[in-house]
A and B are shown apart, each in its own frame.
Chain A
């Protein structure tokens, strides 16, 4: 069983999560990820529904609301979201990162099919 686990893990790490249609993360987006982690945004937000539930999911915030809207939100906060007083480069990096995340898929899934035995096939799934 342990050998099966090792093989399975290796396959998950490689072909199971292969996304040849996507570019790897860029340097500016990577910097944005760092900012996202430093301020622990995941305590309140989610990507693909994973994270804290105090704020909305951010997977597709760029395509749904636009970078200008996201920038304004991050720069000033709201009654419910704290203003972290981020610097201009930090905010730009965050927008780069959110744009990168946006390109990786859609959440909640938009085009999908439910099979009779309960599995779901999504349009975004790499074939």
Chain B
């Protein structure tokens, strides 16, 4: 096994993730149109397009984040993977399980749980692959002689909490949980809340890593502030999930407590506002760097999403927004606006570091066009969902069809902007995929610090 297997596998994870994102967007667009025209593409019912979309984009988030970790540890942190072949095994388990899951969806075999819509047995290989990943990760970072920067803690926390919450998501298989609808549904959403929290740990850790490297200021990842924000995030991951279930009849304290916990995120909002000027100045300095640009977009989306999240975490407002498209706006804003932008920043950071400028700068114009199209259409998409959600939330009649008719214009804008969003992302994905391919290429690109050459 050569010393760079870890590097190569990291890039493979990222490229697979980009493919998953490209396909996931397509199913999202199809699903969006099925919302408006239920007879559209009857061969591929919404029961299939929805999980295909959701699973593929979540796969993108995990693949890109994991790929980054496998790449950065040996290549940028001087910590060669303690178990390189396990990383390859991880990749294949992920790929094969993923393909089986997609086949199940297409063939109409469902486990039928929200988000985890594949047959439950397929969670076993997923779980095992995370154990392997976790062991490899902790054995590798253990070798670090310095105190861990905050992103090491965040990545580790993300892995551990993935395992905890993924297990929790299957507690319904035990009669004690599924006997009671209230218990089943509360535990299910408690786990989902923290599951998203766990991937946010992986992704935000990546954001801090990339930001500290671009600004060439490692202090960013070791400051008191960074650790405080990490603890705040962890606190919210553990205790702030219940806005999903405010309206499920459970003990009142659960929601009051979660409400109070969620409001601690006001501190993050305050920090963003406080740093506003400095962020803009920094943007001026780095705006020609693709990676930086995507990070900047993520910052904007964090701001917008945090405001929405704070609003829907107030139970009185949640009464209106729950079960409406505002929830979808929140989910899309965070998975596309925040997670995807950060992970694309990570991908372009790898490209910038691994390929000569003459190669990666050549397509900057196209990436910039894709970047703008993505962000502008995402803004329209997001706004359309909020409008549709308000329409549904304030509708007080009895007819579902009448309500759907009244929000149809907003859903039309949502579906059309979804196409623009997909096309914008496809442009970015195509260039990212191709350039990452060059990083892997056995033929060194002129001036390239080729991985293959290093391994010779």
The chain A residues found within 8 Å of chain B, CB to CB, are 1, 4-5, 8-9, 12-13, 15-19, 22, 24-25, 30, 33, 36-44, 46-57, 79-82, 100-101, 104-105, 107-109, 112, 114, 118-122, 124-126
Contact = CB atoms under 8 A, between A and B. Distances in A.
Contact of A38 (B112, B177, B315): B112
Nearest to B256: A119
A72 to B, nearest CB: 16
What are the nearest 10 A-B pairs in CB distance? A49-B323, A37-B112, A24-B179, A124-B249, A17-B183, A105-B249, A56-B400, A40-B110, A40-B47, A120-B315
A1 B249 contact: no
Nearest to B112: A37
Interface residues of B, number: 63
Contact of B47 (A17, A19, A22, A39): A39
B114 A38 contact: no
A43 B112 CA distance: 8
Contacts of A18: 183, 251
B185 A13 contact: no
In the complex, which of the residues B248, B255, B318 has the most CB atoms of chain A within 10 Å of its own CB atom?
Answer: B248
A69 to B, nearest CB: 13
17 contacts: A1-B231, A5-B239, A8-B239, A9-B168, A13-B177, A17-B186, A37-B111, A38-B112, A42-B117, A44-B47, A50-B189, A53-B323, A54-B35, A104-B249, A118-B315, A120-B316, A120-B319
Contact of A48 (B34, B185, B256): B185
A47 B117 contact: no
Contact of A1 (B238, B252, B255): B238
Given A17-B182, A17-B186, A120-B319, A125 B252 contact: yes
Contacts of A51: 114
A17 B314 contact: no
Contacts of B171: 13
A43 B50 contact: yes
A42 B323 contact: no
Contacts of B183: 13, 17-19
Interface string B308-349: 000000111111001111001000000000000000000000
B87 interface: no
Nearest to A29: B181
A80 B177 CA distance: 33
In the complex, which of the residues B182, B239, B259 has the most CB atoms of chain A within 10 Å of its own CB atom?
Answer: B182
A52 to B, nearest CB: 6
Interface in B94-122: 110-114, 117
Interface string B114-148: 10010000000000000000000000000000000
Contacts of A15: 251
A52 B323 contact: no
B250 A42 contact: no
Contacts of B392: 53
Contacts of A19: 180, 182-183, 249
Given A17-B180, A57-B323, A47 B185 contact: yes
In the complex, which of the residues B38, B112, B179 has the most CB atoms of chain A within 10 Å of its own CB atom?
Answer: B112
B325 A54 contact: no
A30 B179 CA distance: 9
Contacts of A38: 110, 112
In the complex, which of the residues A4, A13, A51, A121 has the most CB atoms of chain B within 10 Å of its own CB atom?
Answer: A13
B248 A16 contact: no
A103 B440 CA distance: 58
Nearest to B252: A125
A114 B315 CA distance: 8
A52 B110 CA distance: 15
Contacts of B253: 16
Given A37-B112, A49-B322, A122 B249 contact: yes
Contacts of A5: 238-239
A118 B235 contact: no
Contact of A118 (B190, B316, B322): B316
Contact of A8 (B35, B238, B255, B325): B238
A49 B246 CA distance: 10
Contacts of B189: 50
A25 B181 contact: yes
Contact of A37 (B39, B113, B180): B113
Contacts of A53: 35, 323-325, 328, 392
B46 interface: yes
Interface string B8-47: 0000000000000000000000000011001100100111
B249 A121 contact: no
Nearest to A35: B112
Contacts of A43: 46-47, 50-51, 117
B272 interface: no
B251 A16 contact: yes
Interface string B384-406: 00000000100000001100000
B248 A12 contact: no
In the complex, which of the residues A37, A39, A50, A104 has the most CB atoms of chain B within 10 Å of its own CB atom?
Answer: A50
B286 interface: no
